[in-house]
A = this chain, B = another copy of it.
Amino acid sequence: MKRTLSAVEYSGEEEGMASIAKAISHPVRIRILKLLASQQCCFTGELTEIIPMAQSTISQHLKALLDSGLIQGEINPPKVRYCIHRENWRKAYSMFGGFFNADLACRYDCH
- Report Cα–Cα, A54/B23, bound state, in Å: 27
- Report Cα–Cα, A81/B106, bound state, in Å: 13
Q: What size tier do the contact residues of chain A reach?
A: 35 or more
A52 contacts B18, CB within 8 Å?
A: no
| A2-52 with Cβ < 8 A to chain B | 4, 6, 8, 10, 13-15, 17-18, 21-22, 24-31, 33-34, 36-39, 42, 51-52
- Report Cα–Cα, A28/B7, bound state, in Å: 12
Q: Which of B17, B39, B52, B83 contacts A6 (CB 8 A)?
A: B52
- Report Cα–Cα, A32/B33, bound state, in Å: 28
Which residues of the partner chain B approach A39 to less than 8 Å between Cβ atoms? 106-108
A100 contacts B92, CB within 8 Å?
A: yes
Interface flags for A50-81 (1: CB within 8 Å of B; 0: not) read: 01110000000000000000000010000001
- Report Cα–Cα, A104/B33, bound state, in Å: 11
Beyond A6-B52, A18-B27, A93-B101, 8 additional contacts (C-beta under 8 Å) are A8-B51, A37-B104, A39-B106, A39-B107, A81-B110, A89-B106, A90-B102, A96-B100
